[in-house]
Structure 1
Amino acid sequence: MNKFWVILEHTYLEKIKSKTFIIMTALLLLSVVAAVNFQSITDFFGDDDGKDQIAIIDETGFIFEPYKQSVETLDEELELVEFTGTEEDAKSAVQDEEYDSLVVVELNQENLPEATYFANNITDSSTQTTLQEQLQNLKVAISIEQTGVDEATIQEIYAPISFDTVALDDDAKTMEEMFQAQGIVYVMVFFMYIVVILYGQMIAQDVANEKSSRVMEILISSASPVSHMFAKIFGVALVGLTQILLLVGVGLVLINSKKDELVGGMLDSFGLVNIPMDLIIYAIIFFLLGYTLYATLAAMLGSLVSRAEDVNQLITPMIILIVIAFLVAMFGLGAPESTLVTISSFIPFFAPMVMILRIGMLNLPLWEIGLSIGILILTIMIMGLIGARVYKGGVLMYGKSGSLKDFTKAIRLSKKEK
Structure 2
Amino acid sequence: MNSFWIILFHTYLNKLKSKSFIVTTILTIVIVLALTNINNIIALFDKNGGKEQIAVLDETGQLYEPLKQQVHTINKDLKLSLYKGDEHAAEKAVEEGNFKGVILLRFNEEKLPEATFKAMSIADSALFSDLQTGLQQVKTMLAASQINLAPAQLQKLYEPVTFEKFALEKNAKTEEELNQARGLVYVLLFIIYFSVIMYANMIAMEVATEKSSRVMEILISSVSPIKQMFAKIIGIGLLSLTQLAAFLIVGYYSLSKNMESLKEGFFGVYGFEDIPIGTVIYAVIFFILGYFLYATLAAFLGSLVSRIEDVQQMITPMTLLVVGGFMISMFGLGKPDAAFITITSYIPFFTPMIMFLRVGMLAIPLWEALLGISILVATIAVLAIFGARVYRGGVLMYGQSNSFKDIKKALQLTKNE
Q: TM-score, normalised by structure 1?
A: 0.96
Judge which range, 282-291 or 265-274, deviates more: 265-274
| Structure 1 CA distance for aligned equivalents of residues 235 and 111 of structure 2 | 75
Residue segments in structure 2 that go unaligned for 5+ positions in a row: none
> What is the CA distance between 1:265 and its match in structure 2?
5.9
> What is the CA distance between 1:370 and its match in structure 2?
1.1
| Structure 2 CA distance for aligned equivalents of residues 50 and 329 of structure 1 | 35
| Structure 1 CA distance for aligned equivalents of residues 104 and 264 of structure 2 | 37
The equivalent of 2:231 in structure 1 is 231
The equivalent of 1:66 in structure 2 is 66
The equivalent of 1:252 in structure 2 is 252
| Structure 2 CA distance for aligned equivalents of residues 325 and 49 of structure 1 | 42
Note the aligned Cα RMSD (angstroms).
1.5
Q: Are the equivalent residues in 1 in contact too, given 2:43–2:49 (CA < 8 A)?
A: no
| Structure 2 CA distance for aligned equivalents of residues 271 and 250 of structure 1 | 18
* One-letter identity of the residue aligned with 1:344: T
| Structure 1 CA distance for aligned equivalents of residues 304 and 270 of structure 2 | 42
The equivalent of 1:282 in structure 2 is 282
Q: Check 1:207–1:49 CA distance in 2 against 1; reply closer, same or farther (3 A cut).
A: closer
| Structure 1 CA distance for aligned equivalents of residues 49 and 229 of structure 2 | 60
* Partner-residue secondary structure (3-state), 1:80: strand
Residue-by-residue CA offset, 1:83-121 (whole Å, 9 max, x unaligned): 222212221222222222111111111111110001111
Q: Does residue 331 in structure 1 map to residue 322 in structure 2?
A: no
Residue-by-residue CA offset, 1:284-325 (whole Å, 9 max, x unaligned): 001100100000000010000000000000001101111111
After TM superposition, the structure 1 = structure 2 runs for residues 369-408 of structure 1, keeping only pairs within 5 Å, are 369-408=369-408
Residue-by-residue CA offset, 1:240-290 (whole Å, 9 max, x unaligned): 111111111222232334455456765343432211001100110011001
Q: Does residue 24 in structure 1 map to residue 24 in structure 2?
A: yes
Judge which range, 212-221 or 53-62, deviates more: 212-221
| Structure 2 CA distance for aligned equivalents of residues 328 and 258 of structure 1 | 32
Residue-by-residue CA offset, 1:128-184 (whole Å, 9 max, x unaligned): 111111111111111111112333223212210000001122222212222121122
| Structure 1 CA distance for aligned equivalents of residues 66 and 166 of structure 2 | 40
* One-letter identity of the residue aligned with 2:217: E
Residue-by-residue CA offset, 1:313-352 (whole Å, 9 max, x unaligned): 0001101111111111111112212221111111111100
Q: Check 1:137–1:265 CA distance in 2 against 1; reply closer, same or farther (3 A cut).
A: closer
Q: Percent identity?
A: 50
* Partner-residue secondary structure (3-state), 2:103: strand
Q: Check 1:324–1:127 CA distance in 2 against 1; reply closer, same or farther (3 A cut).
A: same
| Structure 2 CA distance for aligned equivalents of residues 26 and 177 of structure 1 | 34
Q: Are the equivalent residues in 2 in contact too, given 1:226–1:384 (CA < 8 A)?
A: no
Q: Are the equivalent residues in 2 in contact too, given 1:58–1:106 (CA < 8 A)?
A: yes
Q: Are the equivalent residues in 2 in contact too, given 1:196–1:291 (CA < 8 A)?
A: yes
* Partner-residue secondary structure (3-state), 1:111: coil
| Structure 2 CA distance for aligned equivalents of residues 73 and 127 of structure 1 | 14
* Partner-residue secondary structure (3-state), 1:169: coil
| Structure 2 CA distance for aligned equivalents of residues 110 and 279 of structure 1 | 58
After TM superposition, the structure 1 = structure 2 runs for residues 17-166 of structure 1, keeping only pairs within 5 Å, are 17-166=17-166
* One-letter identity of the residue aligned with 1:191: I
Q: Does residue 303 in structure 1 map to residue 269 in structure 2?
A: no
* Partner-residue secondary structure (3-state), 2:220: helix
| Structure 2 CA distance for aligned equivalents of residues 258 and 337 of structure 1 | 34
Judge which range, 142-151 or 271-280, deviates more: 142-151
Judge which range, 376-385 or 94-103, deviates more: 94-103
* One-letter identity of the residue aligned with 2:20: T
